[in-house]
Amino acid sequence: MGNLFRGLATGLLAVCVLAITACETRPLQLIIPDFDVASVDGVEIWRVESTGQITAAGSLAFVGIQAIATNGENMEVLEYQVVYPGGGVVASFHTELIRDAVNPDSVRAVFQFDPQAQPGWYRVSTYNAAGSSPLSVDQKYVM
């Protein structure tokens, strides 16, 4: 029941934000293997053009994490902002961080991302106060 309520509340929040901002987002599931140890502040998203050229497609700026207990279950919720390449904030969202049982520094989350209506292949890098990580080897197709 708790997971259903959280899912509905998150979905309702996303619908309200989307109605206000009039942007179309798409889910982007990511695994960040060094979330805590690297003090990750966000994710940069890069579009892989048909020529192979990589262009900035925006970023996910992490705002903060809240620990929430619901029906005896503990979960971490990350607040983040979707940011256009030029720096304008599109919207704020929340997502649950799911930690790897073997390596709790590794987190998995589903982020809402606005590819500015351009389906295609995307790669990511994380960033913190020291700079950006190398681009991911893997790429994801976002419709």
- Return the domain boundaries, the chain: 2-142
Cα–Cα distance measured from residue 97 to residue 15, given in angstroms and rounded to the nearest whole number: 20
- CB of 63 closer than 8 Å to CB of 81: yes
Strand, helix or coil at 24? coil
Q: Note whether 100 and 26 are within 8 A (CB).
A: no
Q: What is the dihedral of CA 84, 88, 92, 98, to 10 degrees?
A: 40
Instruction: Look at residue 23 in the predicted model and tell me its pLDDT.
Output: 61
pTM of the predicted structure, to 2 decimals: 0.80
Side-chain-side CA neighbours of residue 63 (13 Å): 14
**What is the per-residue pLDDT across 39-97, written as a single tens digit (0 to 9) for each?**
999 999 999 999 999 999 999 999 999 999 988 888 999 999 999 988 899 899 999 99
58 exposed, middle or buried (CB, 10 Å; 0-12, 13-18, 19+)? buried
Q: Place 115 in a pLDDT band, splitting at 50, 70 and 90.
A: low
pLDDT for res 39: 97
Q: Which CATH number is correct for 2-142, 3.40.1130, 2.160.20, 2.60.40, 3.40.50? A: 2.60.40
Q: How many CB atoms lie within 10 A of CB 111?
A: 19
Q: What mean pLDDT comes out for the span 9-31?
A: 56
Q: Which of 130, 115, 139, 142 is nearest to 34 (CA)?
A: 130
DSSP code, position 139: -
Give residue for tokens 């029906």: 71
> What is the token pair recorded at 130?
């020291």
Confidence (pLDDT) at 40: 98
User: What pLDDT score does 21 carry?
Assistant: 41
